[in-house]
Amino acid sequence: MPSPTDPRSNEGRNHRRRRASTATWVLVGGLLAVPMVVPLLVPIYARETPELGGMPFFFWFQFALIPVAAIFTTLAFRVVVSVEGSPGEIEEQHQ
């Protein structure tokens, strides 16, 4: 039997994980909505100027949205992890 100080021991651990509040989920939803909604707003980038490296605006703007979407998705993930714990911690608690 593992001792309470053994990292494999589940004794002394709080098995209840924190649940994110409604405000947290609204924040996460907003962070995820930005990269999904902005590409759908075609009128904001349906033009050719300004050009960047010979590429029209509507082209390079969409390419610029890729890292922006990655940043917003990462921020949303970090908000959830900061509140509920990392996926590895959650998995450990359910074993």
DSSP classification of residue 46? -
State residue 85's pLDDT score: 82
Contact 70, 31 (CB under 8 A): no
State residue 64's pLDDT score: 95
pTM (2 decimals)? Answer: 0.70
Per the document, the length of the chain is: 95
Q: Distance of CA 67 to CAs 15, 32, 37, 56, 70, Å?
A: 36, 13, 15, 19, 5
Q: For residues 74 and 26, what is the distance between their CA atoms, to the nearest angstrom?
A: 16
pLDDT digits (tens, 9 = 90+) for 5-55: 555 555 545 545 567 788 999 999 999 999 999 999 999 999 999 999 999
